[in-house]
Structure 1
C-alpha cells in the first residue's frame, strides 16, 4: 500500500509525485516504452539525471526495464499506478468522513 493507514504518503508515492522531471518521465512512459536516449531527447535532461530518476522509479516499483540489444527500454507499471490511485481514493474517502468529525479543544 502506498498510503499508510495514518493517511500519509509513503516514500514510494512521494518518489513518483515529488519531482517535476520524474512526473514528466512517468507521463512519457504512459504513452510508450522508451530508452534513455528517447527520454533525454524529450526532456532535454542529461543522461545521468535521467538514469538517476529511472533508478528511483524502478526501486519504487513504478517502472520496469527490458534489455533490447544494446539498449534498455523502460515501461510504466500500470499495476503500481492503479495501487497509487486506489490509495489516493481511499484517502479522499477518509477526508470525506473527516468533514463530519471535529476534535474538541481543551
Structure 2
C-alpha cells in the first residue's frame, strides 16, 4: 500500500463526526436519514463525511430509492488493520 492510500484511509478516522458515524455503523447498515437524526448535522455535512469514508474504503453505500444506505466495509477495515499491524516490530518487542 502506498503512502497516499494510507493517508486517505487514516484521514477517515481523523474527525469526531466520522468516528461517530463509524460507531453507529458498527451496529449494522443505516440509512443516511437515520444517520442525520443521530448526528445533528446538515445533509451536506453528512454527504461530505460519507464521501471521505467511502473514498477511504472504510464505508460502502448502496442506493435504495432516494436514500443511500451505508455499512462498514470489512475489506476496508482489514486494510487499515493490516497496515497498523505492519508497524509492529517482527519480534513483537515494544
Instruction: Give TM-score scaled by structure 1 length.
Output: 0.74
How many residues align? The count is 93
1:69 to 62, 65, 89: 65
1:29 to 21, 25, 42: 25
The separation in 2 between residues aligned to 1:10 and 1:65, in whole angstroms, is: 21
- Root-mean-square deviation (CA, aligned residues, Å) is 2.3
* 1:65 counterpart SS class: strand
* 2:26 counterpart SS class: helix
CA shift for structure 1 position 45: 1.4
Q: Which has the larger radius of gyration?
A: 1
| Structure 1, gaps ≥5 residues long | 100-106
| Moved beyond 2 Å, runs of 4+ | none
| Structure 2, gaps ≥5 residues long | none
Evaluate the alpha carbon distance shift between residue 65 and residue 90 of structure 1 in structure 2; reply closer, same or farther with a 3 A threshold: same
